[in-house]
Structure 1
């Protein structure tokens, strides 16, 4: 079993909350703060609010992707939400893609989220994929705000078949004006072993880097354009080539983000 990438992910999970006791210590913040700044909402969302009352937070996105490796546009969607208070929350997430007349990907998450440090939560729960194959995972990870306001997620997944994998992502908002916002982001995925039935090899399997530009007509209604580059790595890349598939792709997307 190739364990080095997973051990690296475990190290990140074990050290990040402790490091982030003061996520901005030693750093000078230079970004402007808008009148309806999303950072204050983000911080409140991370900690569950400041008054101990149950609260709701939801963000929904819907977009159409255009990639060189696809025969037509792909519709994708995502939902992030939580309900809870200062320290304990139920975090929910849904992601999916539909293209070429079929549902290509669908994930459903339900996590118990416990605040353990300023702007940092530890999470544990279940993820169930219905596509491309029906698989259930136990999930353990962390979510929070790293230095310079990088929103960070790092999760380990143990499947019902005993396969261990990880996903790490970061994003940040840079204000051009009070309403025009640039959001660079990056994500990597790793696997501790080969998973032939899913065309996945051990090691670093997939990565993407992108830039989203959105215009917040209001805080709750924001159209956007998105450009990203996706690539498979290592054994996963070799498997894709053997199966006659591209191992990378440039993707352009237009979408809409709603918050309520």
Structure 2
């Protein structure tokens, strides 16, 4: 007997939704596994304007998944656009297969492609995503490019309810590299750190504007490379943005 699968309908969400549509369609019916219901979700976690003493930046961080409880296909994208320079400082896209390995953790593997900065780079990806103890959301991945250069990234965030609608979210991101990649201004070891705090108000669960602060700093040899190019090694930004979920 054939099992019946359900797919939630996705609303348009810019280029993120376009990628999802290309990957597996919107509103289609499919089965990830016998007897497993199939859903689709788009989360724009951060779509924000950042302002500091030196730059004005548009930042995005979004992900979408399609599948069931055990098997999913993920699309992730993040990047920054500099208004002053009229240029994308970074723009990456990932396509990943995800398999549940425990109640709270998924193992993910796939491909990442950076279209900015120039020249573009392509990586193989392997990582984990899920909930750590005390409900910290964690996304950790290793990336290897076609030259054998290895990088890694760990992101963690936590939702702290101030009221039923007002939520404070501390966030941390650490970036690492096993080798120097000087053409991209990356030194080996811990290369950069980002710490942030955002306060969002959920008008409804799917729509939440927010304000906050974000601090970024280059570390070690990455900081040395930045200084050699006359760039600052740290910045403190005020941010305002919106979080959307479909």
Instruction: Give the alignment's TM-score, normalised by structure 2.
Output: 0.83
Counterpart check, 1:253 vs 2:239: yes
Give unmatched runs, 5+ long, in structure 2.
1-31
- Secondary structure at the counterpart of residue 101 of structure 2: strand
Q: CA deviation at 1:56?
A: 0.8
Counterpart check, 1:215 vs 2:201: yes
In the other structure, the counterpart of 1:130 is: 115
In the other structure, the counterpart of 1:229 is: 215
In the other structure, the counterpart of 2:94 is: 109
CA distance in 2, matches of 1:77, 1:91: 17
Q: CA deviation at 1:169?
A: 1.0
In the other structure, the counterpart of 1:159 is: 145
CA distance in 1, matches of 2:81, 2:100: 35
In the other structure, the counterpart of 2:8 is: none
In the other structure, the counterpart of 2:52 is: 67
> Contact 1:188 / 1:207 at 8 angstroms: preserved in 2?
yes
Give unmatched runs, 5+ long, in structure 1.
1-47
CA distance in 1, matches of 2:145, 2:54: 29
Farther off after superposition, 56-65 or 117-126:
56-65
Q: CA deviation at 1:137?
A: 0.4
- Secondary structure at the counterpart of residue 239 of structure 1: helix
In the other structure, the counterpart of 1:56 is: 40
CA-to-partner distance for each residue in 1:106-162, whole Å, 9 max, x for gaps?
110110000000110000000000001300000001001000000001100001121
Of structures 1 and 2, the one with the larger relative CO (CA 8 A, separation 6+) is 1
CA distance in 2, matches of 1:159, 1:69: 31
Aligned pairs, number = 209
- Secondary structure at the counterpart of residue 117 of structure 1: coil
In the other structure, the counterpart of 1:86 is: 69
Q: CA deviation at 1:226?
A: 2.1
Instruction: Give the alignment's TM-score, normalised by structure 1.
Output: 0.78
RMSD of aligned Cα (Å): 1.3
In the other structure, the counterpart of 1:97 is: 80
In the other structure, the counterpart of 2:160 is: 174
CA distance in 2, matches of 1:187, 1:246: 19
- Secondary structure at the counterpart of residue 237 of structure 1: helix
> Contact 2:182 / 2:225 at 8 angstroms: preserved in 1?
no
In the other structure, the counterpart of 2:11 is: none
